[in-house]
Structure 1
Amino acid sequence: MRTYGRLLRRPSTALALLAAFIGAVPIGMWPLTVVLTALARGGSAVDAGLVAAVFGVGNALGVVTQGALLARVRTAPLLIGAAAVGVPAVLLLQGPWSLAGAALAGLAIPAITPAVRGRFAGTLPGADRPGAYALVNVLFQAGIALGPLLAAGLAASGRVALAPPLAAAGGIGAAVLLVAAHRGAVPATARAAAPRTAATGSRSGVLALLLVAGSAGFGIGTLQVLLPVRSGATTAGAAFAVLALAEVAGAVLVGGRVGPHRAVRLLLGGTAAMAAVYGLLATGLAAVPLAVALGLATAVQSLGTALVLDRFVAPQRVPAVFAVQVAVLILAAAAGSLLAGAVPGAAFGVAGGLLAVAAAVAVAVLGRPAAAERVLPAR
């Protein structure tokens, strides 16, 4: 746990982590906000579903575009400019142009988490990065959870009109914080001479990571549909709650104890464990205990993925690739939900099979963990 204390004592790192948390709140807040706003204006369930879908497309496009631009333009104008798009989105959501407002709201979410990941890859020594990535994951999950609660609370109190400007303000605030963190950061002198692995720069390695992200997202999509359908709202809510808590606990415990040399083992072990959990879910076993196992496995896999990404991608390209991972996960989750609705009896099995395939591909690309983690001298 000393790693976490060391990270939080660095002002620029602490600011970046705070930005990651605040930036995640609008991500959790906007989807429910656009739906509640549509319903408050007298829209039907079809209208609400349409604005939610348009928002999701805008979000995926926005995160990929911003991630690609982070390596080419200055961080301040890009992130603050993207967040400022939320201002016209707020106005459009209240009128007849609500679909345009939903699209702009998706585009307006600044790519804070990809930017933070890229910053940490370029400024933190290798020994501190597992802990930093774990903290990013924990704070991101906390922000994602807080966002819908804020939107729902405003709606319950009859002040849903305040939700869009609050979400937009959160994005702008997070962007400003991250810009301040960037100005206070000092690149790690050890980064230029960082250890390289034989897989560094491998396009096939990046594709393998995208396959892992897609398979994980597909599984999430099946859960979102099948847990409420099979287990009821109460059990599903409990399962999702313990899944989130287990993921946070796993990230904190593992991130503070492992080094970058365990990256491949974490990725493969976490992915294989997730495949096993979905296989057990397909048999009809109790959802809540399996949700705990899935949360722990997801934490391990997520940390492994983040550390392996550093081996394949130069620090300046980490935001772009990470953003693509996020977009792939979002789209795969939509596909998983679609399949779960159409073929509920097979969805968990398909999710487990995809994760098993992803683990097998990762093994083939990375080789045996011990071999893949042999360090070569830096040039």
Structure 2
Amino acid sequence: MRGYLDVLSVSRLRVPLAATVIGAFPVGMLSLGLLLYAHELTGSLAVGGLAAAGFGLGNAAGVVVQGRLIDRYGQGRVLVVAGTTCALWGVLLVAAAPVVAWPGFAVVAAAGMGLGIPATVAGMRVLLAELVPTPGARTAGYALLAVLFHLALLAGPLITSLLLVPAGPGGAVVAGGFLAGGAGLLFSRTRASRNWRPRGASARGDGLRRNAGLAVLLLIAATTGISAGVVAVAVPASALDLGTAADSGVLIAAVSAGEITAGLAWGARPWRWSAARLLLAALAASVVAAGMTAWAASSLVLLLPALFLVGMCSGPSAIASSALLDTLVSRSTLTRAYTLMVSVFLVGGALGNAAGGALTESLGHRQTFALNACWLAVLVAAGALLRRTLEPGSGAPARPAVRAS
């Protein structure tokens, strides 16, 4: 717990951390809200699914664009413009969609909202690297950030559900957009964000394109994203086969609960292993957890703890990946590298959704879980072979400058 206390003792980090949590709520809110609103407009779940997919892909593209702009122009202007864009797209969608005959308008507007989700998590990640003085406390900070983000993702759909009765799905969409805009504005007005200055990396000489360690880390992020996407489809498929559709929410919550539990435990103690070794250890544990999920997939009672174990393993791998960036990239490109890692994970998740749908329909959910375990085993083998590229000195490291708190 000492690491958490060290992070929270830095007064300049408290308000940005709160703004980051607020900025994470719209991600969970809008994924559900846009799907329900598009369905209300068109009567088609297919269009609703496309709207949710458009939001996700827009978010993946938006974090990359914002990361590049933040590393060049700073956090304030970028986050404010992005959040305002999200809010305006939400208002435009709800105001214009009822009179626009083209169903694709909802998909385009959803993508615009995703593009405008402010990259507060990336901004907070950079501030932690700069303002927390010791490596152990920084890792605890990354764990705390991951835990709070997952809690916000869990709460987002619940907020949408609460808004459906008084305001309907359109009201939930507008509320999510304004929440995103408010989070971007609040984050940008904090002292820590205002004082942060980019180092002015050039587009040609930023060191990212030839960074072998970062390339391997992005490959791992994309591969684990595919795995997460497959699981996200296989879980409701198993619920439909073994119980009811309502059971899928409980099963998905088990994964999130495992991620939150592991994140809290991870950051509460110091680790002597390097971040690269910890990442590979977490991925190896994920193979075991995925195999147990395939074995348990014939019973909802057994599947619930197996999925909790999946979350227990995936949470630490995400934290270790974030910690690795401190040694693989320079300070001037840290925001861009982090948002790129998040983006490839999101794109991998979209590909995994598509693959998981095809696999569960043709093979069934249990075989899909088994193939996912094999997929992760291949990733671990490749990661072991390429481990040296993830160790310090393989990329373009630069120890983050530490400012007095």
Give the alignment's TM-score, normalised by structure 1: 0.87
Which contiguous aligned blocks of 4+ residues in structure 1 show a shift greater than 6 angstroms?
Answer: 184-187, 373-378
Q: 1:37·1:93 contact (CA, 8 Å) conserved in 2? A: no
2-side partners of 1:12 and 1:172: how far apart? 21
Q: Partner of 1:180 in structure 2?
A: 189
Is residue 2:331 matched to residue 1:315? yes
Say if 1:24 and 1:253 are closer, same or farther in 2 by CA, change over 3 A.
Answer: same
Say if 1:260 and 1:327 are closer, same or farther in 2 by CA, change over 3 A.
Answer: farther
Q: Partner of 1:15 in structure 2?
A: 15
Q: 1:208·1:358 contact (CA, 8 Å) conserved in 2? A: no
**What per-residue deviation string (whole Å, max 9, x for no partner) do you get for residues 264-298 of structure 1?**
22201111111222223233443111112111111
Matched position secondary structure for 1:258: coil
Is residue 2:224 matched to residue 1:203? no
Q: Partner of 1:366 in structure 2?
A: 387
- Further displaced range: 357-366 or 322-331: 357-366
Q: Which amino acid aligns with 2:179?
A: G
Is residue 2:312 matched to residue 1:304? no
Is residue 2:295 matched to residue 1:283? yes
Aligned equivalent of 1:111, options 114, 119, 135: 119
Aligned equivalent of 1:236, options 200, 223, 248: 248
2-side partners of 1:356 and 1:315: how far apart? 33
- Further displaced range: 219-228 or 341-350: 341-350
- Further displaced range: 67-76 or 178-187: 178-187
Aligned residues: 364
Q: 2:258·2:308 contact (CA, 8 Å) conserved in 1? A: yes
Instruction: Give how far 1:140 is off.
Output: 0.5
Q: Partner of 2:130 in structure 1?
A: 122
Matched position secondary structure for 1:152: helix
Q: 1:92·1:98 contact (CA, 8 Å) conserved in 2? A: no
Q: 2:3·2:268 contact (CA, 8 Å) conserved in 1? A: yes
Give the alignment's TM-score, normalised by structure 2: 0.82
Instruction: Give how far 1:122 is off.
Output: 2.6
Q: 1:15·1:180 contact (CA, 8 Å) conserved in 2? A: no
Say if 1:257 and 1:201 are closer, same or farther in 2 by CA, change over 3 A.
Answer: farther
Instruction: Give how far 1:137 is off.
Output: 0.3
Is residue 2:255 matched to residue 1:247? no
- Map residues 15-54 of structure 1 onto 2, 5 A cutoff: 15-54=15-54
Q: Which amino acid aligns with 2:254?
A: V
Matched position secondary structure for 1:172: helix
Q: Partner of 1:217 in structure 2?
A: 225
Q: Which amino acid aligns with 1:103?
A: A
Instruction: Give how far 1:37 is off.
Output: 1.7
1-side partners of 2:272 and 2:71: how far apart? 24
Say if 1:71 and 1:267 are closer, same or farther in 2 by CA, change over 3 A.
Answer: same
Q: Partner of 1:343 in structure 2?
A: 359
2-side partners of 1:76 and 1:339: how far apart? 38
Q: Which amino acid aligns with 1:88?
A: L
2-side partners of 1:202 and 1:251: how far apart? 31
1-side partners of 2:130 and 2:272: how far apart? 14
2-side partners of 1:297 and 1:33: how far apart? 29
Instruction: Give how far 1:319 is off.
Output: 1.6
Say if 1:343 and 1:41 are closer, same or farther in 2 by CA, change over 3 A.
Answer: closer
Q: 2:223·2:348 contact (CA, 8 Å) conserved in 1? A: yes
Instruction: Give how far 1:181 is off.
Output: 3.4
2-side partners of 1:178 and 1:253: how far apart? 27
Instruction: Give how far 1:16 is off.
Output: 2.1
- Map residues 151-190 of structure 1 onto 2, 5 A cutoff: 151-183=160-192
Unaligned runs of 5+ in 2: 197-207, 400-405
- Further displaced range: 265-274 or 360-369: 360-369
Superposition CA RMSD, Å:
2.7
Q: Partner of 2:145 in structure 1?
A: 136
- Further displaced range: 50-59 or 343-352: 343-352
**What per-residue deviation string (whole Å, max 9, x for no partner) do you get for residues 297-329 of structure 1?**
112212211111211011231221221222211
Q: 1:88·1:101 contact (CA, 8 Å) conserved in 2? A: no
Taking only the aligned residue pairs, the percentage that are identical comes to 28
Instruction: Give how far 1:234 is off.
Output: 4.5
Q: Partner of 1:352 in structure 2?
A: 373
Say if 1:164 and 1:351 are closer, same or farther in 2 by CA, change over 3 A.
Answer: same
Instruction: Give how far 1:186 is off.
Output: 7.2
2-side partners of 1:57 and 1:271: how far apart? 25
2-side partners of 1:85 and 1:13: how far apart? 26
Say if 1:186 and 1:361 are closer, same or farther in 2 by CA, change over 3 A.
Answer: farther
Q: 1:248·1:299 contact (CA, 8 Å) conserved in 2? A: yes
Q: Partner of 1:227 in structure 2?
A: 235
Q: Partner of 2:280 in structure 1?
A: 268
Q: Partner of 1:196 in structure 2?
A: none
Instruction: Give how far 1:362 is off.
Output: 2.6
- Further displaced range: 171-180 or 126-135: 171-180
Q: 2:52·2:110 contact (CA, 8 Å) conserved in 1? A: yes
Q: 2:331·2:398 contact (CA, 8 Å) conserved in 1? A: no
Instruction: Give how far 1:260 is off.
Output: 7.3
Say if 1:150 and 1:84 are closer, same or farther in 2 by CA, change over 3 A.
Answer: same
